[in-house]
Structures are given as C-alpha cells and as structure tokens.
A and B are shown apart, each in its own frame.
Chain A
C-alpha cells in the first residue's frame, strides 16, 4: 500500500481507463439503473480497497469484471450493499438504462440464446460482448483457461443446436442450469 498520492494516482488511472467497460458490463447484466449504479460503485470501491491486488495493465479489466460479476451474484442473492456513493449515478442510469434489450429481441438468434443455460450465455457474452479471450474469461470466472476452452466449445455447440432446432420448438424454455456460483 503506497503513499496516498500514489494510491490515488493508480486508482484514477484504473477508473479512468475501465469505467466505461465496467459500466457497460454491468448495464448489460442488470434490469434497472439502480442495480447497475450499485454494482458499478461497489466494483470500484472494491478496487480502491484492494488496489494492491488489481493486476497491472490490461489484466485489470477482466479482474474488475470478476469483481462486478460476484457483486451481481450477491445482488441476485439479495445481499445488496448500498454504498450511498451512487445516488446521482442511480438517477442518471435509471433514465438511460436499456432494460435488458435482448429479452425483447424477437429474432431466432435471440430466442436460441435465451434458451441456453445461464452458464453458456455468460461465456458467450463475455466473448461476444466484452470481447474477452479465453485467458481473460478465465480471470473473470476464476477458473483455468483450459476449463474456459472446454466450456466455450460446449456452449457454442449448444447454441448452434438451439439455432438449428429453433423452428421445431414452440416457446420451449430450457431451465437455466445454475452452477451455484462455483467457478
């Protein structure tokens, strides 16, 4: 833990560089601006408090996503921690939040995507939306690169299958298979 100025400088650098990426990550995975604001604030609060653990360089990005992911998971479990840091942010995001756009996308692709288990959607989204490679996804999920590689293959295959069978299915929903937070 360096002197205060060094800490501030490092945090400002990380914040400046990754704020938008984390915000986008969070907005994509929340239903409303309040949740998005809380998760964003909490994520950077964790980064501030655990600044020494934030990896240098580009590795900081998946690390922050990993924190945001766990914060989201806690949110879903009802363990919300209001930081009181984010009132104004909440208000701004409440207006602008796109309200989980894919849910309303009518295309076959979106329907197939929605039918995938949660775990598959998460992987495909980390690659397709955040543009992460296998190594970075492994950082987010806290698992090995090899595991990501294997799971990604299965996810893509299931997605392809869902797309192929789309026309045979009428509103059939596959219950999301939760991994129970164990990555």
Chain B
C-alpha cells in the first residue's frame, strides 16, 4: 500500500521522462498522482489516531542491513494527503506554459521523495529520500535573464541542496555505526536507533549538524535566503511544492527530538530564539517588498518560524498547533502561489506597483486571492485560525514574551499580505493592467482553487478530525521526551544505550 503510494509518482515521473512528446503531460501526471492522493486519503481516514504506534507497516530487505521499511503514524498520515493535494492542485491549476514535461516530471519526482521521507522507518532510506527530494528541481532551474544569473541561482540551489543534506548524513552514519557496534541486524532501523540512542559525547555535534540541515531546509533565518529566491526565480511547480510542504518540520519531530532528547531540551531556548527571529524577520521583510512573490517568500519564512516555534516548545497545544500550522499554511500558500502564477501568466508581472485594479476584470481571482490571504493569516473560519490559536496558547505556557512576539508577527504578516492584495486587486489600474486585459480564472483553475479552499475552510470549521489524527503521536512524543529528559535529571551519568522505556515494542510508538 505505502510502497505503491510512494512509487506511483516516481513511476509517473519516469514515464514522463521516457516520452519525447509534450502532449497529455498533465493528464499522464494526474493519472499517477490521483491514485496516490486517494491512497493517502484512505490511509489518513483509516489510521488509528489515538495511538502513536506505526501502522500500515511494510518491510522488504535491501542491502547492508538497510531495509525498505515504510510505515505511518498520526504525524505522517496528516502530511501525506497534504503533499498529494498540493501536487494535484499544482497540476490542475497551473498555467499550461509552466508545466512542460520536464517540470512536471521534476514535480512528481519531488513528490515521490517527499512521500518517501514521510513513510521511511529506516534512517538510511530516509537519508536517500532526503537528498533525492532536491535533485529533480536542480534539472529544471529556469533560464533567467543572463547565463551568469542562471549560474548563480544554480549555485544557490546546490548550496541549499548540499547544505541542507550533507549535515544529516553524519547523523545517520553515526546512528548506523552505533547499531553495527551493537551487532544489530538492522543498524539503520529507526526505532532501534531511537531505542539505542547515541553516545553522550556525540550528542551535541550531531545535534548541531541535524539542526543545521533542518534550519536550512526549513528556511529559518539566517539560513533562509534561498526561499524568496526560489519563489522568484526558481522552478515554479517544484519550488512551490518544496516551500509549501514542510517536510523539514517532520524531520525535526521525527529525528531531532527522539534521537537527541537531551540536546534538544538544552537547546530549546536557542531553537525558539531562532524561530522567533525568523518569524519576525520574515514578516518585516515581507512588508518591505514590492513584488508579491518575494513578499510571499518572506511570509513563508515567517510561517516556518511559527511552525518550528510550536514544535520546539514541546507541549501538547503547541505541537498540535505546529503540525496543523504547517498543513494549513502550506495549503493556503500553495493556493496563493498557484493564483500568483496565473496572474503572472496573464500580466507578465507580480509587482504591486505595476498592477492594480485587477478586481474589475477578474473578480473570481480576486475573491480566491482574498480567501487564501485571510486563510494564510489566521482569520476565523480558516484552518490557520485554529493552528495559531493552539500555537499561541502553547507558547504562552512557555514564555509570555514569545507569545507576544508571535502575536505581533502575525499582525505584521497580515499587514504585508493584505496590503499587497488590496493594492494589486483594488484601486486604479497600474502600468500593466491598464493595457492588458486580465482574464478571470478558467474552469480548471477554479477546480484546483476550490480543492485547496475547501480543505482550508472545512478544516477550519471542523478541525477536530485533523487534530485527532496526530493526537496519539503527539502524546507519545511528549511522553517519550519527558521520560528521556527526566532520566537526565535523575541520573547525571546518563547511559546513552539505556532505553528509558525498556520494552522495544513501546518504541514503535515514538
């Protein structure tokens, strides 16, 4: 089941690459993504959210003790349909010119790697998927104005690729090494690695490396510069997918917290400080932009800060809020980016000072933009309202100053985005919109937008099912982390290999 879910987009990507014809690209891609989407919905609907245990497990042996071990728990079960929904909306709602065969193949490749990360229960396999996630996008870096500029963007991508990947590899290698020293049959098995832990002396450097990878991929300031660049100059579909589906947050919850409980506990204030700064810095820069895409890039940086803030707070409300925030903000930002691409295809620009008065010509696009903008900003009735409410209460318990910073930042984000939307769609027509007729959303675009809008609004009005899915996972994560850090306080000479929970079966739930 899960193997099929992961492999379908990969096969779709290969099928497209094998063709030389551009025709039917969208249909072929949809034919592969749609079953994957249906499977992910089925998994999310059938999963038992009250337990943190892994479900739908599939194991096939590979080489050197590495196994094709896939499984889902409440956390990944929520992210799987989100990734598929975003990919599907990108396929259906993007302008034809943005989706040539190579770009669609890259999108499907990135989707497959992301689904692989979300399902992997073997650290080596997870590492492979982690690296693979960025490779397809590298093939399709678009031509910018000059070769030098293209070269620069390619280098930025490579820094992001290797900077966000390489630091994780020693962590995986170390976990495998410890497993081999313990003569484990499957040294890279995730749950066995968590149960074994890592030697004390390795904890801090490895934790720092893991956090570097996560910060870079999550675009936490000051490791964020790639994200606005990616949205402005990078490959559209793959870039949008990478920005909106926050797999790095998943890695933080999946690897950094359970593998390094003590380092995580000790470093919590620093991580939260980075998250707060990122949220604030992103919001301030979003206000200063004149280009909608770049502004949205900084809002995405700010939202990454929110999600990390919640996850690092490690209390039930905040973690639930962070998980829901990454889903809600991802879907809303994806909707905005799809619409923005449509606007770019119609007008050739997304600069606020060149647009204006779009509402008179494209009322449906305007309404859709407003809906996604207010959804991204946490207005009542949207999923983000629920996630921000939970996040806020969670971080308030941690420190009132953090909560205040979160509130101020949400206000600045709202000012940045709504100001951009009002100036783009309302008022007198600008230099570009004065001369160019702007067509309203087409039928296919409307369908894609409705898909995303329905998810954001229904999820906002009835959020409980979305909160129930990861409930067991959150409980187990917090209990596991609490037990591990308590062990540190109780025993100054903490033995890394002593499992705080001696029953290996229970570790499946971590």
A and B together in one complex:
no
| Interface set of B (CB-CB < 8 Å, partner A) | none
| Interface set of A (CB-CB < 8 Å, partner B) | none
